[in-house]
Structure 1
Amino acid sequence: MRRLALSDDILMKIEKPARYIGGEVNSVMKDKEQVEIRFAMCFPDVYEIGMSHLGIQILYGMFNRREDVWCERVYSPWLDLDACMRQEKIPLFALESQDPIKEFDFLGITIQYEMCYTNILQILDLSGIALLAKEREESDPIVIGGGPCTYNPEPLADFFDLFYIGEGETVYDELLDLYKANRQAGGSRMEYLEKAAQIEGIYVPAFYDAAYTKEGLLSSFTPNRPCAKPVIQKQVVMDLDGAYYPVKPVVPFIKVTQDRVVLEIQRGCIRGCRFCQAGMLYRPTRGRSLETLKEYARKMLASTGHEEISLSSLSSSDYPDMRGLVTFLIEEFQEKKINISLPSLRIDAFSLEVMEKVQDVRKSSLTFAPEAGSQRMRDVINKGLTEEIILEGAQQAFDGGWNKVKLYFMLGLPNETLEDRKEIPRLADKIARKYYEIPKDKRNGKCQITSSTSFFIPKPFTPFQWAPMYDYEEYVQRAADVKREFQEQLNRKSLKYHWHDAETTVLEGVFARGDRRIGAVICRAYKKGCLYDAWNECFSYEKWVEAFEEEGLDIRFYNNRERKMEELFPWDFIDIGVTKRFLQKEWQRAQGAEVTPNCKERCMGCGAGKYKGGVCLESKDEVS
């Protein structure tokens, strides 16, 4: 019988003990004496968030298919258990075996958002693993980072032995086989890292040196040993039908953020929004076949008992067989009353027709993401939506019986003016007017339009990576501009407005485009008590400001200056396919509010076509 790492006394004291006991449906148990590699897969946030992440489910199932590997899961302990573990000196443990993480061969950490960085240090600290990679011993696990934030890994470089750049289904088997061979040959930890650095997509930070100018700019970034590649190539799965997919995902005992089956229909996006990092990172667009998705849907619903299935994609409307897939799901699972969730749909006649069939019209709300209030700003960001399209979609929704609409916008976009900001409430009011144009006897109660604004953060590998950000006070002022204009609208009683926290925006901006020097700030902030920074009740901006000051680094240097075209970025050593030259041209087009066609309309030669075996050209000269 498996023995729990936590005593009954501790389990009775903490919130939601089911977060830590394991044993969930479809979790994998193996005899640790019969496997050669033990891999702890970590999501550095609370269990409910981590259990909703598809990427971990994919890697968990993929690794456990191998007879020689046992992959287990670990999440950040919540604050109550964190305090107990430190007081009682209980090491962090994996859910399946309840064994200490320090006993594993690998600790893989997926890094999905910047505000989890101190949680990564919590995981290492509670595991008894040195925070700095250079201080680890031979017996410590190899600490691997993966996920979207690793496309600028430099703020975390000091804490990781290696990073995996790209999609996990490609070279992990090679990495694990290499580990076995190195151990059988009596090789050291360093010898393993030297061999791993020669695998495509693997980045070992210790094998590179960064130098800076007297002004603080990155002047060079070079390998310091022969095994390290000058350029790290992003890994991409081109055949999604042939790739592993978890048809028996782990089912939690408690309610989690996304308590449903997730069916990933495609990767990538054709749209080319200039603010969107995912749209650039995950090019080229690749889809699963309709027959494969039908098979996965049947198996996943049968193996989990879930009553809802969600279609996952950056832009579900662009999946070519969407009509056939939705028709199948409705007909196949109608008797079982399976709810179908359709995120990332463009609001058009077909989408509304589908949603009317799969949702309770009276209870649901529809989501539009105009991103900007004025047409000029929508053209600057290359959103590809006109006001006419937005209002027409809203009209169709209201005619279909909906009366609640959520609108998502960004503030602080490049070249944004006060007039652009005022257009956000004005657009919300125009949508409300569309509802009140419907005869009273055909309305479904009172209309509610809820608008939310987040603050724009320039991300690596986007056309806006050169853009400046603003101080905290400026973001607050911009939100106040919008709020004031909402109060001036005719239908203000039907309008609600929310805005994102400005302090976390400032930090996210630093982490997104920071260099290796930021690692010392993260370490200092963690030692000051910063943890769960993505949670408002835990976040302390003052402690972070102190950490920057004590390390002699200026937040404004990383955020507020506009980068020059020729500046060397900390992430320039990574090749994602999309070229810097293409991004530069898109940045220039943004200055003139010039719209770029989407990938279906015209290939603009971004460079990602090389993953399909071709070469993308912008002119007669190859993009470089």
Structure 2
Amino acid sequence: MERRYSIVERAQALLADEQGTLYKDAPYRVALCYPSPYHVGMSSLGYQAIYGEVHAHAGVTAERAFLPDDVEEYRRTRTPLFTLETQSPVSEFPLLAFSVAYELELTGLFSMLELARIPLLREERTERHPLIVAGGPLTFSNPDPLEPFVDVLVQGEAEDLIHVLLDAAPSMDKDALLTHLAGIPGFRVPGRGGARYHVAKSTDARLPARSAIITPHTELRSMFLIEPERGCSRGCHYCVMRRTTNGGMRTVPPERVLSLIPEHARRVGLVGAAVTDHPRIVELLRTLVDAGREVGVSSLRADRLTQELVDQLRRGGATNLTVAADGASQRMRDLVDRKHSEEQIVRAANFARTAGMRQLKVYNVVGLPLEEDADVDELARFTTELSRIMPVALGVAPFVAKRNTPLDGAPFAGIREVESRLERLRRGLKGRAEVRPTSARWAWVEYMLAQCGPEAGLAAMDAWKAGGSFAAFKRAFQERGCRPYMARRVEDGRRKATAWPVVDGVAPTAA
């Protein structure tokens, strides 16, 4: 009979398979928490970078905790949430630092606090409870729904701010610490101040972020992650990481990137918002591949691809080429200032075929402002054209407007409308290309969290307590009176000219 391993034994097995795990005896301990399971959290370069930064701080150590794969098993067995390194209860740590990537991870934070037996609401916690801090990619757009649950928000790039926090936290009581942090740019202390939407920028000396740990149990199996660039020089209107965010793109010389890759790393992932915009990307790829390493690259831009670049990716082990169009038609791409044309994407497909790749993956969105059926039909026509070059998998996500972008406040197209367009696309591509859509319902939930304030976080808590279904979220948003950003502006009679781009003389409305 096959042995059933305990929760702790499974955690120890994950630990045993890691390379580079950091251990340190120090008087002050931080539980670095990720509100998604281990295989997701350990694929996050930002999370790994902060793990390394905490360990580099004198007198401080970090241990990791993740949302369990099976939360119900923890509840059923009354197992408290524990850290991976020493299997210590998370509640025993003086500071819990959460890295939150996007809106729907909020419920993971609730589950982790519940399993740690820590009250969810900030106002229900006392001095005896750990300090709850949250940062991560979500803070670049709208961290407001986190406010009811955290003591401190770290907004933007955290490599420098984490040291500011750790300089003060071990020697101050909670009240004094919160007052201190509220006066420092980059920190927001709910109820005490701090600049809202201040996105901190790390010093260039902290770059590049890179993995501390390599593990086979991730989305990117046994891959060492490093960023050859940070940020983006482009101005896509839907994107949080555009050129106006933190000074645009900052590049790292290939020589420095190569010097930081450990000898044992046989698979290397180059990660960033616009990796192929790096002026020396082909040189970096060629050097890695010539050394016998497999290489993966995030954020391939069709207009930057060349046959040589794609050939190097193929030599590095890639079997699929992935690009993003991010607009159903050229009219929609022009609307969001996405600098791609059909000709460039066709050229990318031909590069992939010549290199011997098996499939072209194209990411797109539906539901942009001013989008019509004709735009969706154009996407079906163009995808059919691509499928004549090589097999195509089309990933399609409903558009969700993010705060602090030019499309901030743009309305959600509507669940029925998005589903109708997805069905129209499926019919148009039946037998020609694989269509992989994401849920319109959960995109609407993401939209509400992205465009509402702290009350949306409370609604998410209500929905989580009620089982976390879509119906529970819909009911909770209604009961908490959640109103998206633009809807509130219109109802208050304060509607102003938006920063939305104009196409054919018409701007989107909030209807």
* TM-score for the superposition, normalised by structure 2: 0.90
Give 1:326's match in structure 2, choosing from 285, 309, 316: 285
2:331 and 2:449 map into 1 onto residues whose CA distance is 29
> 2:181 maps to what in 1?
196
State the 1:195 CA deviation.
0.9
Asked whether the 8 Å contact 1:452–1:498 carries over to 2, the reply is: yes
Asked whether the 8 Å contact 1:466–1:564 carries over to 2, the reply is: no
Give 1:546's match in structure 2, choosing from 452, 475, 482: 475
Asked whether the 8 Å contact 1:269–1:282 carries over to 2, the reply is: no
1:171 and 1:589 map into 2 onto residues whose CA distance is 38
Asked whether the 8 Å contact 1:58–1:244 carries over to 2, the reply is: no
Task: Name the SS of the counterpart of 1:323 in structure 2.
Answer: helix
Q: Deviations over 1:577-606 (max 9, x none)?
A: xxx99xx54x14457499xxxxxxxxxxxx
1:178 to 2:161 alignment: no
Structure 1 segment 147-546 matched on structure 2, within 5 A: 147-150=136-139, 151-182=141-172, 188-207=173-192, 228-229=193-194, 233-239=198-204, 242-243=205-206, 249-252=212-215, 254-279=217-242, 280-297=244-261, 300=262, 302=263, 305-331=264-290, 333-334=291-292, 338-347=293-302, 351-359=306-314, 364-402=319-357, 404-433=359-388, 435=389, 447-487=390-430, 493-530=431-468, 540-546=469-475
State the 1:206 CA deviation.
1.9
Q: Deviations over 1:501-523 (max 9, x none)?
A: 11111100001111111122122
Structure 1 segment 95-174 matched on structure 2, within 5 A: 95-150=84-139, 151-174=141-164
Q: Which amino acid aligns with 2:249?
A: T
Distance 1:15 1:474, change over 3 A: farther
Asked whether the 8 Å contact 1:149–1:512 carries over to 2, the reply is: no
Asked whether the 8 Å contact 1:200–1:232 carries over to 2, the reply is: no
Give 2:31's match in structure 1, choosing from 40, 43, 53: 40
2:306 and 2:9 map into 1 onto residues whose CA distance is 38
1:52 to 2:37 alignment: no
State the 1:250 CA deviation.
1.7
Report % sequence identity: 27
Asked whether the 8 Å contact 2:449–2:457 carries over to 1, the reply is: no
State the 1:524 CA deviation.
1.2
Task: Name the SS of the counterpart of 1:233 in structure 2.
Answer: coil
> 1:76 maps to what in 2?
67
1:269 and 1:21 map into 2 onto residues whose CA distance is 35
Task: Name the SS of the counterpart of 2:302 in structure 1.
Answer: coil
> 2:57 maps to what in 1?
66
State the 1:133 CA deviation.
0.8
Asked whether the 8 Å contact 1:171–1:200 carries over to 2, the reply is: no
Task: Name the SS of the counterpart of 1:48 in structure 2.
Answer: helix
1:169 and 1:67 map into 2 onto residues whose CA distance is 15
Asked whether the 8 Å contact 1:268–1:282 carries over to 2, the reply is: yes
2:372 and 2:207 map into 1 onto residues whose CA distance is 47
State the 1:466 CA deviation.
2.3
Q: Which amino acid aligns with 2:394?
A: S
Distance 1:367 1:16, change over 3 A: farther
Q: Which amino acid aligns with 1:192?
A: L
Asked whether the 8 Å contact 1:260–1:310 carries over to 2, the reply is: yes
Gaps of 5+ in 2: none
Asked whether the 8 Å contact 1:44–1:110 carries over to 2, the reply is: yes
Q: Which amino acid aligns with 1:234?
A: V
Compute the RMSD of aligned alpha carbons.
3.0
Which one scores higher on RCO, CA 8 angstroms, separation ≥ 6? 1
1:98 and 1:234 map into 2 onto residues whose CA distance is 34
Distance 1:399 1:250, change over 3 A: closer
Q: Which amino acid aligns with 1:177?
A: D
Q: Which amino acid aligns with 1:143?
A: I
Asked whether the 8 Å contact 1:428–1:449 carries over to 2, the reply is: yes
Asked whether the 8 Å contact 2:49–2:210 carries over to 1, the reply is: no
State the 1:351 CA deviation.
3.4
Gaps of 5+ in 1: 1-8, 183-187, 208-227, 436-446, 488-492, 531-539, 570-579, 595-624
Task: Name the SS of the counterpart of 2:170 in structure 1.
Answer: helix
Task: Name the SS of the counterpart of 2:147 in structure 1.
Answer: helix
Structure 1 segment 14-29 matched on structure 2, within 5 A: 17-18=10-11, 22-23=15-16, 24-29=18-23
1:316 and 1:462 map into 2 onto residues whose CA distance is 21
1:97 and 1:295 map into 2 onto residues whose CA distance is 31
Distance 1:393 1:295, change over 3 A: same
2:392 and 2:489 map into 1 onto residues whose CA distance is 37
1:92 and 1:232 map into 2 onto residues whose CA distance is 31
Asked whether the 8 Å contact 2:35–2:112 carries over to 1, the reply is: yes
Q: Deviations over 1:325-378 (max 9, x none)?
A: 1232233x13xxx21112322336853323323426997122232222321111
2:493 and 2:10 map into 1 onto residues whose CA distance is 49
Asked whether the 8 Å contact 1:316–1:345 carries over to 2, the reply is: yes
Q: Deviations over 1:261-295 (max 9, x none)?
A: 11201111112111112225454211112221120
Task: Name the SS of the counterpart of 1:359 in structure 2.
Answer: helix
State the 1:542 CA deviation.
2.1
Asked whether the 8 Å contact 1:111–1:148 carries over to 2, the reply is: yes
State the 1:19 CA deviation.
7.0
Asked whether the 8 Å contact 2:210–2:224 carries over to 1, the reply is: no
Asked whether the 8 Å contact 1:49–1:257 carries over to 2, the reply is: no
Asked whether the 8 Å contact 2:11–2:84 carries over to 1, the reply is: no
Distance 1:283 1:265, change over 3 A: same
Task: Name the SS of the counterpart of 1:309 in structure 2.
Answer: strand
1:451 and 1:197 map into 2 onto residues whose CA distance is 45
Asked whether the 8 Å contact 1:18–1:254 carries over to 2, the reply is: no
Asked whether the 8 Å contact 2:34–2:66 carries over to 1, the reply is: yes
Asked whether the 8 Å contact 1:62–1:244 carries over to 2, the reply is: no
1:147 and 1:286 map into 2 onto residues whose CA distance is 19
Asked whether the 8 Å contact 2:349–2:386 carries over to 1, the reply is: yes
State the 1:138 CA deviation.
1.0
1:362 and 1:129 map into 2 onto residues whose CA distance is 45
1:201 and 1:382 map into 2 onto residues whose CA distance is 29
Task: Name the SS of the counterpart of 1:70 in structure 2.
Answer: strand
2:168 and 2:488 map into 1 onto residues whose CA distance is 43
> 1:599 maps to what in 2?
none
2:31 and 2:317 map into 1 onto residues whose CA distance is 44
Q: Deviations over 1:209-255 (max 9, x none)?
A: xxxxxxxxxxxxxxxxxxx345563211241xx21657672233635
